[in-house]
Protein backbone atom coordinates (compact mmCIF):
# COMPACT_ATOMS: atom_id res chain seq x y z
CA UNK A 1 0.00 0.00 0.00
CA UNK A 2 2.71 2.47 1.00
CA UNK A 3 4.51 2.16 -2.36
CA UNK A 4 1.44 3.44 -4.23
CA UNK A 5 0.96 7.15 -4.84
CA UNK A 6 -1.83 8.27 -2.47
CA UNK A 7 -5.18 9.20 -3.98
CA UNK A 8 -6.08 11.53 -1.12
CA UNK A 9 -3.35 13.31 0.78
CA UNK A 10 -3.97 15.47 3.87
CA UNK A 11 -1.15 17.49 5.43
CA UNK A 12 -1.47 19.47 8.66
CA UNK A 13 -5.12 20.21 8.02
CA UNK A 14 -6.80 22.63 10.39
CA UNK A 15 -10.40 23.80 10.40
CA UNK A 16 -11.59 26.74 12.45
CA UNK A 17 -15.30 27.51 12.23
CA UNK A 18 -16.30 31.20 12.56
CA UNK A 19 -12.67 32.41 12.67
CA UNK A 20 -11.92 35.87 14.08
CA UNK A 21 -15.21 35.94 15.99
CA UNK A 22 -16.02 35.21 19.64
CA UNK A 23 -17.64 31.98 18.36
CA UNK A 24 -14.37 30.73 16.79
CA UNK A 25 -14.07 26.97 17.22
CA UNK A 26 -11.18 24.74 16.16
CA UNK A 27 -12.78 21.53 14.88
CA UNK A 28 -9.61 19.89 13.48
CA UNK A 29 -5.95 20.56 14.09
CA UNK A 30 -2.75 19.27 12.47
CA UNK A 31 -4.38 16.31 10.76
CA UNK A 32 -2.23 14.34 8.28
CA UNK A 33 -2.91 11.02 6.57
CA UNK A 34 -3.17 9.47 3.11
CA UNK A 35 -5.75 7.28 1.42
CA UNK A 36 -4.41 4.86 -1.21
CA UNK A 37 -6.26 4.12 -4.47
CA UNK A 38 -8.93 1.51 -3.76
CA UNK A 39 -8.42 1.69 0.00
CA UNK A 40 -11.32 1.61 2.47
CA UNK A 41 -10.62 4.05 5.31
CA UNK A 42 -13.01 4.54 8.23
CA UNK A 43 -12.98 7.66 10.43
CA UNK A 44 -13.95 6.82 14.00
CA UNK A 45 -14.14 9.22 16.92
CA UNK A 46 -16.26 10.84 19.62
CA UNK A 47 -19.12 13.12 18.76
CA UNK A 48 -18.01 16.58 17.64
CA UNK A 49 -14.37 15.68 16.94
CA UNK A 50 -14.55 16.99 13.39
CA UNK A 51 -15.12 13.86 11.28
CA UNK A 52 -17.88 15.44 9.19
CA UNK A 53 -15.92 18.70 8.92
CA UNK A 54 -13.04 16.72 7.44
CA UNK A 55 -15.30 14.92 4.96
CA UNK A 56 -16.79 18.25 3.82
CA UNK A 57 -13.28 19.58 3.18
CA UNK A 58 -12.26 16.51 1.17
CA UNK A 59 -15.55 16.85 -0.75
CA UNK A 60 -14.54 20.46 -1.49
CA UNK A 61 -17.75 21.78 0.11
CA UNK A 62 -15.78 23.63 2.80
CA UNK A 63 -12.27 25.05 2.71
CA UNK A 64 -9.53 24.28 5.23
CA UNK A 65 -8.27 27.07 7.48
CA UNK A 66 -4.74 25.74 7.10
CA UNK A 67 -2.85 22.80 5.59
CA UNK A 68 -3.00 20.96 2.29
CA UNK A 69 -5.64 18.64 0.85
CA UNK A 70 -4.95 16.89 -2.44
CA UNK A 71 -6.80 14.41 -4.62
CA UNK A 72 -4.70 12.68 -7.28
CA UNK A 73 -1.85 15.13 -6.55
CA UNK A 74 -4.06 18.17 -7.29
CA UNK A 75 -5.16 20.63 -4.60
CA UNK A 76 -8.82 20.28 -3.61
CA UNK A 77 -10.40 23.66 -4.33
CA UNK A 78 -14.07 22.71 -4.74
CA UNK A 79 -16.45 19.81 -5.45
CA UNK A 80 -15.62 17.39 -8.27
CA UNK A 81 -17.27 14.34 -9.81
CA UNK A 82 -14.07 12.49 -8.79
CA UNK A 83 -15.30 12.74 -5.19
CA UNK A 84 -18.83 11.48 -4.52
CA UNK A 85 -20.60 12.12 -1.21
CA UNK A 86 -23.35 10.11 0.48
CA UNK A 87 -25.11 11.52 3.55
CA UNK A 88 -26.91 9.86 6.46
CA UNK A 89 -30.30 10.43 4.84
CA UNK A 90 -30.36 9.74 1.09
CA UNK A 91 -31.00 13.12 -0.52
CA UNK A 92 -32.91 11.92 -3.58
CA UNK A 93 -35.18 14.18 -5.64
CA UNK A 94 -38.71 13.10 -4.64
CA UNK A 95 -40.26 14.01 -8.01
CA UNK A 96 -37.85 11.91 -10.09
CA UNK A 97 -37.92 8.13 -10.60
CA UNK A 98 -35.10 6.14 -9.02
CA UNK A 99 -33.50 5.63 -12.46
CA UNK A 100 -33.63 9.39 -13.14
CA UNK A 101 -32.21 10.12 -9.69
CA UNK A 102 -29.32 7.73 -10.35
CA UNK A 103 -28.45 9.34 -13.69
CA UNK A 104 -29.24 12.96 -12.78
CA UNK A 105 -25.56 13.95 -12.90
CA UNK A 106 -25.10 12.19 -16.24
CA UNK A 107 -28.05 14.14 -17.67
CA UNK A 108 -26.35 17.38 -16.63
CA UNK A 109 -23.24 16.13 -18.45
CA UNK A 110 -25.35 15.67 -21.62
CA UNK A 111 -25.36 11.87 -21.71
CA UNK A 112 -28.17 10.66 -24.04
CA UNK A 113 -31.36 9.11 -22.52
CA UNK A 114 -30.78 5.64 -23.95
CA UNK A 115 -27.29 5.43 -22.47
CA UNK A 116 -28.53 6.84 -19.17
CA UNK A 117 -31.22 4.19 -18.99
CA UNK A 118 -28.64 1.45 -19.61
CA UNK A 119 -26.27 2.80 -16.96
CA UNK A 120 -29.14 3.13 -14.45
CA UNK A 121 -30.16 -0.48 -15.06
CA UNK A 122 -26.59 -1.75 -14.60
CA UNK A 123 -26.07 0.22 -11.38
CA UNK A 124 -29.46 -0.60 -9.89
CA UNK A 125 -28.76 -4.28 -10.56
CA UNK A 126 -25.43 -3.91 -8.73
CA UNK A 127 -27.05 -2.45 -5.62
CA UNK A 128 -29.97 -4.94 -5.68
CA UNK A 129 -32.62 -2.48 -6.87
CA UNK A 130 -33.24 -3.72 -10.41
CA UNK A 131 -37.02 -3.67 -9.91
CA UNK A 132 -37.13 -0.16 -8.50
CA UNK A 133 -36.04 1.84 -11.58
CA UNK A 134 -39.48 3.39 -12.20
CA UNK A 135 -40.46 3.90 -8.57
CA UNK A 136 -40.30 7.24 -6.72
CA UNK A 137 -38.14 7.64 -3.57
CA UNK A 138 -41.16 7.68 -1.21
CA UNK A 139 -42.11 4.17 -2.41
CA UNK A 140 -38.78 2.80 -1.12
CA UNK A 141 -37.61 1.84 2.37
CA UNK A 142 -34.75 3.75 4.04
CA UNK A 143 -32.25 1.01 3.13
CA UNK A 144 -33.41 0.99 -0.50
CA UNK A 145 -33.10 4.77 -0.70
CA UNK A 146 -29.52 4.54 0.60
CA UNK A 147 -28.75 1.93 -2.07
CA UNK A 148 -30.20 4.27 -4.71
CA UNK A 149 -27.98 7.06 -3.34
CA UNK A 150 -25.00 4.70 -3.63
CA UNK A 151 -25.93 3.91 -7.26
CA UNK A 152 -26.25 7.63 -7.96
CA UNK A 153 -22.80 8.32 -6.53
CA UNK A 154 -21.31 5.45 -8.55
CA UNK A 155 -22.89 6.75 -11.78
CA UNK A 156 -20.30 9.54 -11.80
CA UNK A 157 -17.48 6.95 -11.56
CA UNK A 158 -15.85 8.69 -8.60
CA UNK A 159 -12.29 7.93 -7.56
CA UNK A 160 -13.32 8.33 -3.95
CA UNK A 161 -16.65 7.81 -2.25
CA UNK A 162 -17.23 9.74 0.96
CA UNK A 163 -19.92 8.54 3.30
CA UNK A 164 -21.09 10.39 6.42
CA UNK A 165 -22.70 7.80 8.72
CA UNK A 166 -24.61 6.38 5.75
CA UNK A 167 -26.33 3.59 7.69
CA UNK A 168 -26.95 5.33 11.03
CA UNK A 169 -30.67 5.78 10.37
CA UNK A 170 -31.22 2.10 9.48
CA UNK A 171 -32.20 -0.82 11.72
CA UNK A 172 -29.49 -3.32 12.67
CA UNK A 173 -30.45 -6.04 10.15
CA UNK A 174 -30.73 -3.60 7.23
CA UNK A 175 -27.45 -2.05 8.32
CA UNK A 176 -25.60 -5.39 8.15
CA UNK A 177 -27.03 -6.07 4.68
CA UNK A 178 -26.06 -2.59 3.50
CA UNK A 179 -22.49 -3.12 4.70
CA UNK A 180 -22.36 -6.29 2.58
CA UNK A 181 -23.71 -4.44 -0.45
CA UNK A 182 -21.24 -1.63 0.05
CA UNK A 183 -18.28 -4.04 0.22
CA UNK A 184 -19.36 -5.75 -3.03
CA UNK A 185 -19.87 -2.46 -4.83
CA UNK A 186 -16.61 -1.02 -3.47
CA UNK A 187 -14.63 -4.04 -4.70
CA UNK A 188 -16.19 -3.90 -8.17
CA UNK A 189 -15.75 -0.11 -8.51
CA UNK A 190 -12.08 0.12 -7.50
CA UNK A 191 -12.89 3.45 -5.79
CA UNK A 192 -11.42 4.50 -2.46
CA UNK A 193 -13.88 4.96 0.40
CA UNK A 194 -13.72 7.41 3.28
CA UNK A 195 -16.54 6.53 5.70
CA UNK A 196 -17.50 8.19 8.99
CA UNK A 197 -19.09 6.07 11.69
CA UNK A 198 -19.63 6.00 15.46
CA UNK A 199 -19.78 2.22 15.44
CA UNK A 200 -16.67 0.17 16.25
CA UNK A 201 -18.40 -2.94 14.81
CA UNK A 202 -19.14 -1.14 11.54
CA UNK A 203 -15.55 0.09 11.33
CA UNK A 204 -14.25 -3.45 11.88
CA UNK A 205 -16.65 -4.97 9.33
CA UNK A 206 -15.59 -2.56 6.60
CA UNK A 207 -12.18 -0.93 6.97
CA UNK A 208 -8.72 -1.59 5.61
CA UNK A 209 -7.60 1.04 8.12
CA UNK A 210 -9.39 2.84 10.92
CA UNK A 211 -8.36 6.41 11.71
CA UNK A 212 -9.19 7.01 15.37
CA UNK A 213 -9.72 10.69 16.24
CA UNK A 214 -9.12 12.44 19.54
CA UNK A 215 -11.85 14.59 21.11
CA UNK A 216 -12.13 18.09 19.62
CA UNK A 217 -10.01 19.56 18.21
CA UNK A 218 -9.80 16.37 16.17
CA UNK A 219 -6.30 15.00 15.78
CA UNK A 220 -5.22 11.48 14.96
CA UNK A 221 -5.07 9.35 18.08
CA UNK A 222 -4.00 6.22 16.22
CA UNK A 223 -4.37 4.56 12.83
CA UNK A 224 -5.39 0.91 13.25
CA UNK A 225 -4.93 -1.41 10.25
CA UNK A 226 -7.46 -4.26 9.95
CA UNK A 227 -5.52 -6.89 8.08
CA UNK A 228 -8.21 -9.56 8.07
CA UNK A 229 -10.17 -11.15 5.20
CA UNK A 230 -13.83 -10.15 4.71
CA UNK A 231 -16.54 -11.01 5.63
CA UNK A 232 -15.38 -10.64 9.23
CA UNK A 233 -17.12 -12.35 12.09
CA UNK A 234 -17.49 -10.29 15.26
CA UNK A 235 -16.80 -13.59 17.09
CA UNK A 236 -13.35 -14.00 15.51
CA UNK A 237 -10.79 -13.67 18.38
CA UNK A 238 -8.67 -11.28 16.27
CA UNK A 239 -11.71 -9.07 15.65
CA UNK A 240 -12.61 -9.19 19.35
CA UNK A 241 -9.05 -8.13 20.25
CA UNK A 242 -9.25 -5.19 17.83
CA UNK A 243 -12.69 -4.30 19.16
CA UNK A 244 -11.26 -4.08 22.68
CA UNK A 245 -8.31 -2.00 21.51
CA UNK A 246 -10.56 0.46 19.68
CA UNK A 247 -12.94 0.67 22.66
CA UNK A 248 -9.96 1.50 24.92
CA UNK A 249 -8.65 4.11 22.48
CA UNK A 250 -12.06 5.75 22.26
CA UNK A 251 -13.00 5.59 25.94
CA UNK A 252 -10.68 8.40 27.08
CA UNK A 253 -11.66 10.59 24.15
CA UNK A 254 -15.40 10.08 24.67
CA UNK A 255 -14.93 11.00 28.36
CA UNK A 256 -12.99 14.12 27.36
CA UNK A 257 -15.62 15.15 24.79
CA UNK A 258 -18.37 14.61 27.37
CA UNK A 259 -16.61 16.68 30.05
CA UNK A 260 -16.05 19.51 27.55
CA UNK A 261 -19.73 19.49 26.57
CA UNK A 262 -20.74 19.57 30.26
CA UNK A 263 -18.38 22.48 30.90
CA UNK A 264 -19.82 24.39 27.93
CA UNK A 265 -23.43 24.13 29.23
N1 LIG B 1 -21.03 24.80 9.76
C2 LIG B 1 -20.54 24.89 11.00
N3 LIG B 1 -20.42 26.08 11.61
C4 LIG B 1 -19.91 26.18 12.86
N5 LIG B 1 -19.48 25.13 13.59
C6 LIG B 1 -19.58 23.91 13.03
C7 LIG B 1 -20.11 23.71 11.72
N8 LIG B 1 -20.08 22.38 11.43
C9 LIG B 1 -19.57 21.79 12.52
N10 LIG B 1 -19.26 22.68 13.47
C11 LIG B 1 -18.66 22.40 14.79
O12 LIG B 1 -17.41 21.74 14.58
C13 LIG B 1 -17.23 20.70 15.54
C14 LIG B 1 -17.03 19.38 14.80
O15 LIG B 1 -18.26 19.04 14.17
P16 LIG B 1 -18.38 17.80 13.18
O17 LIG B 1 -19.81 17.70 12.76
O18 LIG B 1 -17.35 17.90 12.12
O19 LIG B 1 -17.99 16.60 14.16
P20 LIG B 1 -18.31 15.04 14.05
O21 LIG B 1 -17.12 14.35 14.60
O22 LIG B 1 -18.73 14.70 12.67
O23 LIG B 1 -19.53 14.94 15.06
P24 LIG B 1 -20.70 13.84 15.10
O25 LIG B 1 -20.02 12.52 15.24
O26 LIG B 1 -21.48 14.23 16.32
O27 LIG B 1 -21.49 13.99 13.84
C28 LIG B 1 -18.47 20.70 16.43
O29 LIG B 1 -18.18 21.41 17.61
C30 LIG B 1 -19.52 21.43 15.60
O31 LIG B 1 -20.45 22.12 16.41
Give the full edge-to-edge strand order of the sheet including 66-71.
25-35, 8-17, 66-71, 74-75
Q: How many Cβ atoms are within 10 Å of 174's Cβ, its own excluded?
A: 16
pTM score? 0.92
What class does CATH assign to 1-82+160-253?
Answer: alpha beta
Q: What is the mean pLDDT of the chain?
A: 92
Please state the φ and ψ torsions of residue 134, each to the nearest 5 degrees.
-100, 5
Q: Is 17 in the pocket of ligand 1 (CB under 6 A)?
A: yes
pLDDT in tens, 127-172: 889 999 999 999 999 889 989 999 999 999 999 999 999 888 888 8
pLDDT of 256 reads 75
Would the CB of 233 count as within 6 Å of ligand 1?
A: no
Residue 1 has pLDDT above 60, yes or no: no
Pocket probe for ligand 1: among 14, 16, 27, the residue whose CB has the most ligand atoms within 8 Å is: 27
| pLDDT average, residue stretch 111-126 | 94
Ligand 1 in reach of 60 Cβ (< 6 A): no
DSSP, res 217: S
pLDDT-based confidence at 206, cuts 50/70/90?
Answer: very high
Distance (Å, whole) CA 208 – CA 33: 14
Q: What percent of the chain has pLDDT over 90?
A: 77
215-229: per-residue pLDDT in tens? 989 999 999 999 999
- CB of 179 within 8 A of CB of 119? no
213 with 50: CB under 8 angstroms? yes
Can you give the pLDDT at residue 264? Answer: 67
Residue 213 CA: nearest ligand 1 atom is 21
Ligand 1 centre from 50 Cα, in Å? 5
Adjacency order of strands within the sheet including 220-225: 83-86, 160-164, 192-197, 40-44, 209-213, 220-225
d(CA 113, CA 165): 32
Q: What is the C-alpha separation between 29 and 91, in angstroms, rounded?
A: 30
> What is the complex's ipTM, to 2 decimals?
0.97
pLDDT at 265: 60
113: exposed, middle or buried (C-beta count within 10 Å: 0-12, 13-18, 19+)?
A: exposed
Query: What pLDDT shows up at residue 4?
Result: 72
* pLDDT surpasses 90 at 263: no
Q: Please indicate whether residue 204 or residue 142 has the higher confidence score (pLDDT).
A: 204
Residue 211, pLDDT above cutoff 60: yes
Give residue 90's pLDDT band: very low, low, confident or very high (50, 70, 90): confident
- Check if 56 has its Cβ closer than 6 Å to any atom of ligand 1: no
Residue 150 CA to ligand 1 centre (angstroms): 24
Report the percent of the chain where pLDDT is more than 70.
98
Which atom of ligand 1 is least distant from the CA of 15? 12
Ordered by start, the domain boundaries in the chain are 1-82+160-253, 90-157
- Quote the ligand 1 centre to 26 CA distance (angstroms): 10
For residue 62, the ligand 1 atom closest to its alpha carbon is: 1
**pLDDT, tens digit, for every residue of 40-73?**
999 999 888 999 999 999 999 999 999 999 999 9
Count CB neighbours of 198 within 10 A: 15
* Distance from Cα 101 to the centre of ligand 1, integer Å: 29
Q: Is the pLDDT of residue 2 over 60?
A: no
Enumerate the β-bridge partners of residue 164: 196
DSSP-derived 3-state class of residue 92: coil
Q: How many CB atoms lie within 10 A of CB 72?
A: 16
Q: Is the CB of 217 under 6 A from ligand 1?
A: no
For ligand 1, whether the C-beta of 49 sits within 6 Å is: yes
Amino acid sequence: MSTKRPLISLRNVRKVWNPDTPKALTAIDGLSFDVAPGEFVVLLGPSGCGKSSLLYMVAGLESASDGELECDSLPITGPSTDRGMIFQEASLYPWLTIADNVTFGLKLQGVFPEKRRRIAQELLLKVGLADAADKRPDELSGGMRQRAALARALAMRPKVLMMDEPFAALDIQTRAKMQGHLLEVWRASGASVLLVTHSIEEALALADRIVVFTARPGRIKEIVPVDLPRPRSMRDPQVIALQQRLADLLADEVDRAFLEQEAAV
